[in-house]
Chain A
Amino acid sequence: MTRGDKLLILLILASSLLSGYFLYFHNSNKDASHQAVISVSGKIVQRVSLSDSTPSQHFRINGKVGETIIAVAGRKIRVENAACVNQICVHQGWIERAGESIVCMPGEVVISIEGVTGVDAVTR
């Protein structure tokens, strides 16, 4: 094996490490886009992008038991009004971190925030 061969091996190793770094690690430093996904009975009905510049707005979503009003303000989103009896979804209030979600069981409405998050799951 000549020096040329050995150099080639090192070159391949180096490019592997480099590409590995960029593919696997670089992205987790970037601030991933915060997007809230609203779904009814498993089907996505609306996507909302959440950022500091998002203007306050309201959405009307038709869940299984009636109308649900969702409010967005900047990076936060919440269920403002729901037709369900127990109102658990309303009680939850604002969510803004990636991985968080609000669920209205009777209405089968789910609001979930996508993106890279610091934790894998949250107990409730």
Chain B
Amino acid sequence: MNMGDTDIKPDIRMVRIALLIALGVSMHLVESMIMLPIPIPGVKLGLANLATLLALYLYGVQDGILVAVARVFLGSLISGLFLSPAFFLGLGGGVFSTIIMGLFMRWRCFTVVGVCIAGAAAHNFGQLLVASLLLKSSAVAYYLPFLLVASIPTGLFTGFAMKPLLLRLKRAGILT
């Protein structure tokens, strides 16, 4: 019979997810301070996606969504934008992007770079969708071509940042 604290098995999954959420939040805060040389509003580096992506690779779509949503909640609470339009945009874009990335992950023909690009495009598209619902106007569609094109460099950036990371994780046996 096991009693007391010797029975408590460390739940690595919970710990890792918590860390990933923390990582996502801090990335989110950092990248909102970086001004990109791209003249379109709402274009971010997508660093926070890295955390979501790791969650996806490690534990699958459900936990990926968990990390994405938690990241948006915590991030907006910290920056004081909770329940603001930006909050809903981040939520919409984040969830949609996570689902899309989870999908692309399964297709062998894409590397992590492709996954990231798809994720960035989906994130932007998701945000536009939410924005058009919030503003009750289709005028935001105006930004679509630009956001689509902008997802390429940001996706490439995150994808190439992930590559060595994934390699390391594979070597360390954490990833299959």
Question: Could you tell me which residues of chain A, from 103 to 121, have a CB within 8 Å of some CB in chain B?
Answer: none
Q: In the assembly, what is the distance between CA of A12 and CA of B156, in Å? A: 13
Tell me whether A1 and B111 are in contact (CB under 8 A).
yes
* A20 interface residue per 8 A CB criterion: yes
Contact B149 A13 (CB under 8 A): yes
Kindly state whether residue A85 has any CB partner on chain B within 8 Å: no
- Residues in B with CB closer than 8 Å to A17 are 145
| Given known A12-B149, A13-B152, contact A23–B144 (CB-CB < 8 A) | yes
Assess the A12–B109 pair: CB atoms within 8 A.
Answer: no
How many pairs of A and B residues are in contact by the CB < 8 Å rule?
A: 50
Nearest B-chain residue to A8, judged by Cβ:
B114
- Whether B21 is near chain A, meaning CB under 8 Å from some CB there, is no
| B166 surroundings in chain A (CB, below 8 A) | none
Interfacial chain B residues near A15, Cβ < 8 Å: 148
Contact (Cβ within 8 A) B148 A12? yes
Interface of B is mostly: helix
CB distance B144 to A19 under 8 Å?
A: yes
Q: Closest CB of chain A to B32's CB: distance in Å? A: 24
- Asked if B110 and A4 make an inter-chain contact with CB atoms under 8 angstroms apart, the answer reads yes
A110–B3 Cα distance when bound, in Å, is 87
CB of A123 within 8 A of chain B?
no
Roughly how many angstroms separate A1 CA and B114 CA in the complex, as a whole number?
Answer: 8
B118 contacts which chain A residues (CB < 8 A)?
Answer: 8
B122-157 toward A: CB 8 Å interface, digit per residue (1/0)?
000000000000000000011011101101100000
Query: Whole-angstrom distance between the alpha carbons of A40 and B35 in the complex?
Result: 46
Which of B109, B113, B142, B145 touches A16 (beta carbons < 8 Å)? Answer: B145
Contacts of A20 in B (CB 8 A): 145
Q: Are A19 and B152 in contact (CB under 8 A)?
A: no
Chain B CB count within 10 A is highest, among A3, A16, A23, for: A16
State the A residues within 8 Å of B (CB). Answer: 1-5, 8-9, 12-13, 15-17, 19-20, 23-24
Interface residues of B (CB under 8 A from A): 107, 109-111, 113-114, 117-118, 121, 141-142, 144-146, 148-149, 151-152
- A-B contacts, 23 listed (Cβ < 8 Å): A1-B111, A1-B113, A2-B110, A2-B114, A4-B110, A4-B111, A5-B110, A5-B113, A5-B117, A8-B114, A8-B117, A9-B117, A12-B149, A13-B149, A15-B148, A16-B144, A16-B148, A19-B141, A19-B144, A19-B145, A23-B144, A23-B145, A24-B145
